Amino acid sequence: MNLRIHTPLAAAVAITGGLLILLTLFIPGYDDVRTRILNWAVLLAAIALLIGLVNLFAVHFDRLRNKQKPIYSAVLLIALLITFGITLWEGSGGLIPSWIFSNIQIPIETSLMAVLAVTLTLAAARLLQRRTDLMNIVFVVTLFVLLLGSGPLFGIELPIFTTSLGPYITNFLSTGAMRGLLIGVGLGTLLTGLRILIGADRPYGG
């Protein structure tokens, strides 16, 4: 389709869909319309997931053909094809897909999270030797207060941290900062929605 036709058409569809959903939220009695349109969006999202899978396969197939780190791409493609085929055959609750999920995916992701804990500990240790300006000192002090206040050290509780300093930072300072962050996110979301509705932003292209 020509781009000159495609861009206004996409904008018209997006703006009309957004306005329609917005109106059904304000005007009672049109819940069926909203549900139907949202179901269309759900189906489109599922198709987009499938397209992403095809794109992933194509990218790594090209890398394998061009010999750009072919081992990783080959492993990925083989694992993808095997898992996809078996899951299609047995279903997601089948014996082999469940075994793959429990014995490969969960241990790998959990291990990465454990490595993240070690990496953050190393980063905090290096922070003390890099720079000693005011903000770094504030950061390190806050870190120690929260660590000491989140539980006993080697089974020994430090009451001043667990009952006073730690909860104060968590309930007041941190919550206040998060409220400000949430208000900012809400305003940004509202502004983004309005810009899309008036056609100022076109994230769908054009």
Partner 1 sequence: MSYHSAKDPEEELPDWLKALRKRQNQESPEPAEPAPEPAAAPDAASEAPGEEEPGWLQEIRSRYGREKGPIEEAPMSEEPALGDTQPHRVSKPEGEEPQPEKEEVEWVPEEFDSEGESTPEPEALSTPVIEEPEDRGYTPAFTTNEEPISPGELPSWLQALRPGAFPKEDTRSGEMLPGGETLPGEIETGGPLAGLSDVLPAEPDLGLSGKPPVFSARLDVTQNQQLHAAALKQLVDEEAKSIEDESRRVALPTRVLNMVMGAALLAAVLFPLLTQSRTAVRPDANSGLFPEVQSLHDLIDVLPAGAPVLVAFEVQPATFGEITPLATAVLNHLLDRQSALVFISTLPTGPSLAEKLLQDQLGALPAVATGDYVNLGYLSGGIAALRSFIGDPRGVTLSSSQADPWQDLQALDQLSDFALIVVVSSGAEELRAWIEQSGGDLPNGLLAVTSQQANPLLRAYLQTDPRTLRGLVSGVQGAALYERMRAQNSLGSSYWDAYSYGLGAMVLLILLGGLYGRLITLRPEKVKPAGSSRAA
Binding site for partner 1 (CB under 8 A): 31, 34-35, 38-39, 41-43, 45-46, 49, 91-93, 98, 101-102, 105-106, 108-110, 112-113, 117-118, 121-122, 124-129, 143-144, 147-148, 150-157, 163, 167, 170-171, 174-175, 178-179, 181-182
| Contact between 101 and 111 (Cβ < 8 Å) | no
Sign of CA dihedral 29, 33, 36, 41: negative
* CB of 98 vs partner 1, minimal distance in Å: 7
Choose among 77, 37, 40: nearest CA to 48. Answer: 40
Q: Which is nearer to partner 1, 135 or 156 (CB)?
A: 156
* CB of 5 vs partner 1, minimal distance in Å: 27
Sign of CA dihedral 192, 196, 201, 204: positive
* CB of 146 vs partner 1, minimal distance in Å: 10
Partners of 153 in the β-ladder: 156
Helices (H) and strands (E) in the chain, counts: 9, 0
Q: Which is nearer to partner 1, 73 or 145 (CB)?
A: 145
The length of the chain in residues reads: 206
Q: Which is nearer to partner 1, 51 or 128 (CB)?
A: 128
* CB of 205 vs partner 1, minimal distance in Å: 19
CA-to-CA distance for 162 and 188, rounded, in angstroms?
36
* CB of 69 vs partner 1, minimal distance in Å: 25
CA distances from 7 to 1, 121, 195, 201 (A): 10, 50, 16, 12
Q: Which is nearer to partner 1, 2 or 129 (CB)?
A: 129
Q: Which is nearer to partner 1, 76 or 148 (CB)?
A: 148
